[in-house]
Chain A
């Protein structure tokens, strides 16, 4: 289907199913149960899952294929966000122009940074991109305050011109982002017994764009262009000696991946019209590297998994507080309850970084291929067990 072979088609279908059924999959626990704390099926987090999925897919086109480790990808995300918010301020609240502009601006920005940074490879390339990203962050944070509103973050106001829309709605509030009238924040709630599932328009827009981005990334992986990028990763020197100039290929990959990041930034601003400078900070750049490695660099589906994993921890674990712990362990005797809460305390709430760090270490040490490798191992183990089972039941063949 769509010019993909059978295996890739099934991957695309799996991702599509996961994305479209996410409101069900992520809300496995009834709303009133104690485990509802672990539900992730609310619009904001689902949007983050797919948006950071797009970001990581794009990053993987560069890092997974060419092996160039960019440490400054958050800059493109931030630039995309700022352009989108400016579109909302100047043009109108439709998300299409905002998303288009954010992709274009991020692409141009990536072209500029890539042109300079790609003169070097390896660690020097990483450092150059990191330097550029920190420069952009500092510019956004202080020097370019009239454009970015500095630390406070760029926000919509009632006084924005919005030439194709209205500055303020008739009841005197700021209009909301929409797609030809379909409001991004509109949510349909479906109550099934004790469960409540939320279907959010903005989420589905993001999910569809993510599927398109995922499809495009499969096509790039399977194309001759993708092959060339892999060749760069395995031995760039040899390619240079055969008289092939690899720069246009790596630059193209860099720009494409920058545009993905810009798309993610534009979508973020479309879901929540605010752009803050911290989106461009080096920690944000590091986060996408973690997502890709955690999920499995160079695999198609890995980055999406990694993005989901990290965002889940950031949003769910950080919200567990001692109070919640006490209700969980209230069945224990008093002294024991306090002891258990005391032990778990550093790993939850503001300590979610610690939990994530430990898991990241475990994954890198035991599953160097990321979560995707974990999945493959489980699959292999299952099929081996199955094969073993069929062997014992069937007749034994004597060795020749």
Chain B
């Protein structure tokens, strides 16, 4: 600091400049005249599709994106209309939303909260998206839901199964159609009891983030209520690709059931490792060793190949369902892409239609009006039977499917078979259930 000669005049001058600099931004605090964030003014409305295109959930992300594109096509009156024809609410006309043509922007969440928020922010700030949807990881969904709450746009959660999304991290601007860990537990428990009895010892391998934690808690609680013991719960990093070091200790733990609280690429790898270690041929405590994957999807079954045969789990929706809505959706998705949709695609498609429908019924894109028309909304014809969007926590309540890896698949898509459709009443819970307590919706935020 060689030549810093501070004269009084100079200090004053510098101070004045610095002061002006600090004051400068205050000129710009005036908010714009719009009634809410990104109010669509032209002939179009922009939706933001924020899905993982890289990382362990990239397959799900790609399928979600296909579903979003299909939904946009149907909303704009293209294609065969898909589930718009079977949906119990007839507000949607196939002329966009409120007469505005639907456009969309896409982004890559990288399955990282930080990147997902950056991507969502650019959609809101740059592209003027009025609704953000997507996410194949609960960590990401919760982070983006928080952002949307702050920014004043609606968040329609995609594939997120953590209890926290509509539990302790619920937000007034966030809505979830997908089911959750508690519902998986409630649906699976009776089936597991019939199959494996009430005297079992379970070992949990759990993806180490909010989804894994809450699903592990839910499944452990549900199975312990049957009389099962839980011998150990081991957390594995989300980014892990080789699980052999986690599988080896299972052999000596005395457990006779392995619960894999893994999803996507994680589950494909951990299940493959478990099968390679010969767990399924083992007999422990005089019983056959069993593996349970509480959250199942066809994409995972495809990734794990032969290994999924006879393994039980739960799922939100499956393309072989024979109701009107599912058949219409599978038909238009299959026509466009040449293969049936996954459960991730289904929930994302439905969420987009639900949002569009809520806007139509509310007559406004204002997040508060949209939230109000979604809260307590009862609908049917979307593939899951009669469904309720509960006002207290913005969670959808509908039937849950218990599925099993098919022993003799007839095609490369026919990998799972539905064992049981658990009725909605059996998976319902009070909004203040201990597994969901601690959160607060807060007030809806229209931004601006």
Chain A positions near chain B (C-beta within 8 angstroms)? 2-3, 39, 42-45, 48, 141-142, 150-153, 155-159, 168, 171-174, 176, 182-183, 185-189, 198-201, 204-205, 208, 219, 222-224, 272, 274, 276, 278-279, 315, 318-319, 321, 323, 349-350
Tell me the residues in window 88-137 of chain B with beta carbons closer than 8 Å to chain A beta carbons.
105-108, 112-115, 117-119, 121-122, 125-126
B143 touching A274 by the CB < 8 A rule? Answer: yes
Whether the Cβ atoms of B112 and A45 lie closer than 8 Å is: no
The CA of A235 and the CA of B213, in the complex, are separated in Å by 53
Q: How far is the CB of B120 from chain A (nearest CB, A)?
A: 9
- Smallest CB-CB separation from A23: which chain B residue? B28
Residues of A with C-beta under 8 A to B125: 42-44, 187, 198
Cross-interface CB contact of B29 among A141, A156, A183, A198, cutoff 8 Å: A183
- Check A204–B24 contact: CB distance below 8 A: yes
What is the CA–CA distance of A45 and B121 in the complex, to the nearest angstrom?
A: 9
Q: Which chain B residues in 16-49 approach chain A with CB under 8 Å?
A: 21-22, 24-32
Verify A2–B14 contact, CB threshold 8 A: yes
Task: State the Cβ distance, B18 to closest chain A Cβ, in Å.
Answer: 9
Q: Which of B1-9, B319-327, B335-343, B395-403 interfaces with chain A? A: B1-9
7 contacts between A and B (CB under 8 A): A3-B5, A152-B142, A157-B168, A172-B442, A174-B150, A182-B25, A187-B125
Smallest CB–CB gap between A191 and chain B, Å? 9
CA–CA, A319 to B120, complex, Å? 11
B146 at the interface (CB under 8 A from A): yes
A45 to B113, CA, bound (A): 16
Which of A3, A201, A318 has a CB less than 8 Å from the CB of B107? A318
> Which residue of chain B is the closest to A182 with respect to CB atoms?
B26
A208:B22 contact, CB within 8 angstroms: yes
Taking the closest CB of chain A, its distance from the CB of B189, in whole angstroms, is 26
Give B154 Cβ to nearest chain A Cβ, in Å: 15
- Residues of B with C-beta under 8 A to A3: 1-5
Residues in chain B near residue A151, CB distance under 8 A: 113, 139, 208-210, 237-238
Residues of chain A within 8 A (CB-CB) of B106 are 319, 321, 323, 349
Interfacial residues of chain B within 278-296, with CB under 8 A of chain A in the complex: none
- Are B54 and A276 in touch, CB under 8 angstroms? no
Is there contact, CB below 8 Å, between B114 and A201? Answer: no
Is B139's CB under 8 angstroms from A42's CB?
Answer: no
B262-286 vs A, CB cutoff 8 Å, 1 = contact: the mask equals 0000000000000000000000000
- Interface residues of B, count at CB 8 A: 60
A187 to B30, CA, bound (A): 8
**A389, B172: Cα distance in complex, Å:** 68
Looking at the assembled complex, report how far the CB atom of B165 sits from the nearest CB atom of chain A, in whole angstroms: 11
CA gap between A198 and B121 in the complex, in Å: 14
Count A/B pairs, Cβ under 8 Å: 152
User: Would B118 and A48 count as touching, CB distance under 8 A?
Assistant: yes
When distances are taken between beta carbons in the complex, the residues of chain A under 8 Å from B22 are: 208
B69 to chain A, nearest CB (A): 8
Check A350/B14 contact, CB under 8 A, given A151-B209, A173-B442. no
| Nearest CB of chain B from residue A141's CB, rounded to whole Å | 7
A45–B442 contact, CB under 8 A?
A: no
| Chain B residues, CB < 8 A from A141 | 208, 237
Residues of B within 8 A of A142 (CB): 208, 235, 237
> Known contacts A173-B445, A182-B29: does B143 contact A158 (CB below 8 Å)?
no
Alpha-carbon distance between A60 and B91 when the two chains are bound, in angstroms: 59
B387, CB-defined interface residue at 8 Å = no
For the complex, give the distance between the alpha carbons of A353 and B363 in Å.
Answer: 42
Q: A224-B2, A274-B114 are in contact. List 9 more A-B contacts (CB 8 A).
A: A45-B126, A151-B139, A172-B172, A182-B26, A186-B29, A204-B24, A219-B1, A318-B119, A349-B53
Interface of A is mostly: mixed
User: In the complex, are the beta carbons of A168 and B108 less than 8 A apart?
Assistant: no
The smallest C-beta distance from B101 to any residue of chain A, in angstroms, reads 14
- A159-B438, A174-B442, A198-B125 known; A189+B113 contact, CB < 8 A: no
Best-buried of B32, B126, B169 by chain A (most CB within 10 Å): B126
**Assembly CA distance A183 to B142 (angstroms):** 23
A174 neighbours in B (Cβ, 8 Å): 149-150, 442
Task: Report yes or no: A279 in contact with B28, Cβ–Cβ below 8 A.
Answer: no
User: B356 at the A/B interface (Cβ < 8 Å)?
Assistant: no
Given contacts A153-B113, A155-B143, contact A315 B122 (CB under 8 A): yes
| A152 lies within 8 A of B442 (CB) | no
Q: Is B430 an interface residue (CB 8 A)?
A: no
Q: Which residue of A lies closest to B65 (CB)?
A: A321
Residue among B106, B119, B151 with the most chain A CB within 10 A? B106
How far is the CB of A228 from the nearest CB of chain B, in Å? Answer: 14
Whether the Cβ atoms of A152 and B209 lie closer than 8 Å is: yes
The reply to whether A208 and B21 contact each other, CB–CB distance below 8 Å, is yes
Q: Is the CB of A155 within 8 A of B442?
A: no
Measured CB to CB, the nearest residue on chain A to B31 is A186
| One of A48, A153, A171, A183 near B139 (C-beta < 8 A) | A153
B117 adjacent to A152 (CB under 8 Å): no
B426 at the binding interface (Cβ < 8 Å):
no
Asked whether B32 lies within 8 Å of A189 as measured between CB atoms, the reply is yes
For B208, list chain A residues within 8 Å (CB): 141-142, 150-151
* B24 and A276 within 8 A (CB): no
Nearest Cβ in chain B — how far from A46, in angstroms? 10
Chain B 42-76 interface residues, beta-carbon cutoff 8 Å to A: 53-54, 58, 69
Q: Using Cβ atoms and an 8 Å threshold, which residues of chain B touch A185?
A: 150-151
Contact present for A222 and B147 (CB under 8 Å) = no
Contact status of A272 and B121, CB under 8 A, knowing A185-B150, A349-B53? yes
Contact (A44, B121) CB under 8 Å given A151-B209, A188-B30, A189-B32:
yes
> Once bound together, how far apart are the Cα atoms of A174 and B146, in whole Å?
10
Q: In the complex, what distance in Å separates the CA atom of A168 from the CA atom of B58?
A: 36
User: Closest CB of chain A to B141's CB: distance in Å?
Assistant: 10
B232 at the A/B interface (Cβ < 8 Å)?
no
Bitwise interface map of B from 421 to 448 toward A, beta carbon under 8 Å scored 1, else 0: 0000000000000000011101101000
Query: Given B58, B113, B237, which contacts A152 in the complex, CB threshold below 8 Å?
Result: B113
- Provide the bound-state CA to CA distance between A316 and B335, in Å: 32
In Å, the complex CA distance between A35 and B188 comes to: 52
Contact A274 B108, beta carbon cutoff 8 Å: no
Q: Do A272 and B117 form a contact, CB below 8 Å, given A3-B3, A141-B237?
A: yes
A199 to B54, CA, bound (A): 32
A44 contacts B118, C-beta separation under 8 Å? yes
Known contacts A44-B121, A174-B150, A208-B22: A349-B126 contact under CB 8 Å:
no
List chain A residues, Cβ under 8 A from B440. 158-159, 168, 172
Interchain CA distance A259-B9 in the complex, whole Å: 32
Asked if A204 contacts B142 (CB within 8 A), the reply is no
Pick from B69, B147, B443: contact of A172, CB below 8 A: B443
Q: A247 vs B149: C-alpha distance in the bound complex, in angstroms?
A: 49
Question: CA A195 – CA B80 in complex, angstroms?
Answer: 38
